[in-house]
Structures are given as structure tokens and as C-alpha cells.
Amino acid sequence: MNRVVRVAIVDPRDASRQATKNLLLGIESIWLEAECSNYEYFVDVLTQAQPDIAIINLDADTARGLALISEVVSACPGTHVFVISSSQEGSLILQTMRHGAKEFLPAPLKLDDFLDALERIEQFQRGGDDVENVRSRLISVIGASGGVGCTSLAVNLACSLAQDQKHNVVLLDLDLALGDADVWLDIIPDYTIQDVVDNIDRLDYALLKRSLTRHDCGAYLLPRPVHLADRPSITPEALRRVLALLKATFSHVLLDLSKGYGEMELSALEVSDEILLVTQFDLPGIRNVVRVLQYFEEFDGLADKTRVVVNRMGLEDSQISLNKAVETIGREIFAEVPNDYATMVESRNNGIPLLKHAPRARVTRAIDQLAQKFAAEAEEQGTKGKSSRRGLFGFLKSGT
């Protein structure tokens, strides 16, 4: 199966259909492709959507539901049929399997039952092999002040991560007013985040994929709007929906955030796995790191997943030592990126990432080491998770 599992449901009863829908929307690796309230139309819906899983609730009309299983299996042989019913009679379970259903689950649908069924399907798809599947990571890059190099770090970190063939990387430019990730990559996009927000009510995997632009390095970009006046108003709910689909599709989702720390930024930070707080060793930067970390303490878990990255390390006019900065901030520095202003400016002006523009430069090696650190941590987490629920279906959306 794909990293994102596309699901369609049919249930003529509004209350139980909504309950099933709510459960599915709470699973990060699931994308609800379609819902239907009429058995008669479900096959037509499936032939259009071609989901991985079709869920049929039999309780509204058992006989019609059983017939529908056969119709779905015939029309959509690549779709696995799950059946839900409040009846647990052995004869009914046997009938559903004879009609072609892969799983029979009790109603109302429970999370553990559904995840167990998905895991059985996954094991069947991979032939029972214990294949490691690394958990997707959402990394937000924010600045302690303006001009500290957030975009340069986010862009080049995305490109570096994308060099590993096991990684599938996307970068979102969420500085909706003045973002310039497209400049760093010399990309003139056909679509921007404006198009995604305008179509949020019908957003699906295919539409979102078409909205992304792929760079030669392998990373994808979803840039900010072309025109300043086109800045969309992104609600936390809309942003979470976009991020959930991206996180279910890509191994690494990087966000280049603005310095506003408004509702949109906080919503992104809350669902992030890591937050890179970028600063440089000057008084305004160090002071603002302390202020930001104090502010993050007001939100559950935000400060704990924040890591301080010092950019332009070695600036001649820096009067703050590493030891003094650590003492002031109250935590260790996660990564140091050396100062190489000339190389960075040339890379940006030419629209060529550092790994191609200056592969042997110290600044390039430092960002590559940061990417390797994230990759090593992901591998370690994957090793630790072998004894728990594995693979595509083992992680749930937080904050919803």
C-alpha cells in the first residue's frame, strides 16, 4: 500500500456513518477519500475514487449490504472490503467472507479493531515480511529574530534530506507575505498554497500532489502566494488537514514559518515533531531565544521539542561566547552552522542549493550533518518501535 491509505465508507444511517468518519479522521495515516449514504451509489463512487479500503456498514440493510460486497469486489479488485455490523452471528460473518470481504469488524467501530485489521492487510500486502517503516517527521523552522537564516536552513536541510533514497521530502513556505523559498530553489511554480486553501473542501491526495513542485534535488515545494494581496487566511483546521495529508505521504515535512507566532504558526508548531529555533550569537538573538522558550512553556510540550540552532557561527562581531549563550538560554545548542555569508548569498542569487553550489563548503557539511542527525534519530525510533504497533498504521494524529 501507499504511505497514505485512502478509505471510502458507505452507511445509510447518518449517526453511525458520522461516528465512523470521526474515527478515521483521527488516524494520521488515513485519508477519507469518500463517504456515501446510499448503497446504490457506492460502486460508482469507488470506481471514481479507487481507494485502498472500502468500509461497508451492513446494519441498515443486511441483504443489500452483502450483495454490495460482491459488486465492489468485482468492480474494484484492488480495493479491500471491510464490513461493519452490530451482529456477530457466525453465519453472517461467513457470508461476508464468501462475498469477498477481507475483514469483519463489530459495530460501533473501535480504533484498536480497525488498526489491527489494517495491520493484517499490510502484512498480507508485504508477504508477511517484517519491513521497517520509519515514522514521518514534521520539522518546523522558526527564527528568534528576523534575518537569522531560517529559509536558507529550511531549504538546504530539505535538499540534504532528499538525497537519501529512503526519504520523501516536502517543504512548505508558510511565510505567506514575504517567503522566498522559491527564489532559493529557482522555481516558478504553477500552484501555490493559495490554490490548496481555495480548494480545501475538496482537497485530496491527488489534488495536493499536483499542487507541489519538485526540485531537481528531489525535494518538493509548496510556495507562498505569488501576489502579496493574495495572502490566504488559513484556519488551524485547514492547516492541520493539509499537514496531516502531507505527513501521511512524505517521510519528512519541513515548514518555513514566519516570525509572527500567530494562530497559524502556533497550530503548526503544536503538531510538529521537532522545532528548530534559529538564532545567531548576538544580544537580540539570544534574548529572543529566552523569550520564545518562556512563551512556549505556556503550551503543552512545545518547549520540550524545541531545539536551538545557531546560524552564522563565528561572526567576527559576535561578542557572546558559546558557554555564555548556553548559560543564558538554559539548554544545550542542538546544532551550529558556520558563517559563510558569501557562499550563501551566491547560492541564493543563483537559485542553486548548497549541496550542488558548494558541496565541500563547511556550511554545506554542517547542514548535511544536521540532516544525518535527524535520519539517525528516525532510525533509532524505528528500532525502538519494533515491539509496538508497526508500519503504516501505527501513528495517530495529535491535537485533533
pLDDT digits (tens, 9 = 90+) for 138-194: 999 999 998 899 999 999 999 999 999 888 899 999 998 889 999 999 998 888 888
Residue 208 lies in a domain: yes
| Residue 65 pLDDT | 95
Q: Are 340 and 361 in contact (CB under 8 A)?
A: yes
Q: Which of 344, 337, 326 is nearest to 373 (CA)?
A: 337
Residue 79 lies in a domain: yes
Domain identity same for 88 and 172 = no
Domain identity same for 339 and 280 = yes
Domain identity same for 254 and 326 = yes
Residue 400 lies in a domain: no
Q: Give every CB contact of residue 304 below 8 A, 6+ residues apart in sequence.
A: none
| Residue 384 pLDDT | 53
Domain identity same for 266 and 151 = yes
Give 280's DSSP letter: -
Domain of residue 27, residue span: 5-125
Does 383 have pLDDT greater than 80?
A: no
Q: Are 309 and 335 in contact (CB under 8 A)?
A: yes
Domain identity same for 163 and 236 = yes
Count other Cβ atoms within 10 Å, centred on residue 25: 15
Residue 32's φ and ψ, nearest 5 degrees, are: -75, 100
Tell which of 65, 95, 125 closes a domain.
Answer: 125
| Residue 321 pLDDT | 82
Count other Cβ atoms within 10 Å, centred on residue 21: 16
| Residue 62 pLDDT | 95
- What CATH number corresponds to the domain at position 173? 3.40.50.300
Tell which of 101, 125, 149 closes a domain.
Answer: 125
Cα separation, 142 vs 107, in Å, equals: 45
Cα 78 to Cα 75, 343, 391: the distances in Å are 9, 51, 20
Segment 14-35, tens digit of pLDDT? 999 999 999 998 887 888 989 9
Domain identity same for 194 and 298 = yes
Residue 179 lies in a domain: yes
Cα separation, 389 vs 119, in Å, equals: 8
Q: Are 253 and 162 in contact (CB under 8 A)?
A: no
| Residue 382 pLDDT | 54
Residue 188 lies in a domain: yes
Domain identity same for 117 and 185 = no
Does 247 have pLDDT greater than 90?
A: no
> Which is higher by pLDDT, 262 or 357?
357
Residue keyed to cell 490554490: 195
Pair type for strands 213-214 and 220-222: antiparallel
Q: Are 175 and 152 in contact (CB under 8 A)?
A: no
Tell which of 125, 147, 170 closes a domain.
Answer: 125
Cα separation, 210 vs 325, in Å, equals: 44
Domain identity same for 278 and 168 = yes
Does 388 have pLDDT greater than 60?
A: no
Does 302 have pLDDT greater than 70?
A: yes
- What CATH number corresponds to the domain at position 110? 3.40.50.2300
Segment 347-371, tens digit of pLDDT? 999 999 999 999 999 999 999 999 9
Q: Give every CB contact of residue 351 below 8 A, 6+ residues apart in sequence.
A: 183, 184, 185, 186, 187
- For the chain, the domain total comes to 2
Domain identity same for 121 and 221 = no
| Residue 204 pLDDT | 65
Segment 328-340, tens digit of pLDDT? 999 999 999 999 9
Residue 298 lies in a domain: yes
End-to-end Cα distance, the chain: 25
Q: Which of 22, 28, 19, 116 is nearest to 59 (CA)?
A: 19
| Residue 123 pLDDT | 65
Give 308's DSSP letter: E
| Residue 266 pLDDT | 93
State the pLDDT confidence band at 205, using cuts at 50, 70 and 90: low
Instruction: Give the mean pLDDT of 66-95.
Output: 91
Domain identity same for 16 and 146 = no
Rounded (to 5) percent helix, strand, coil in the chain: 45, 20, 35
| Residue 76 pLDDT | 93
Residue 352's φ and ψ, nearest 5 degrees, are: -120, 120
Residue 228 lies in a domain: yes
Average pLDDT of the chain, as a whole number: 86
| Residue 251 pLDDT | 87
pTM above 0.85, yes or no: no
Give 190's DSSP letter: S
Domain identity same for 144 and 114 = no
Residue 86 lies in a domain: yes
Question: Which grid coordinates are listed for 357?
Answer: 553550489
Domain identity same for 153 and 26 = no
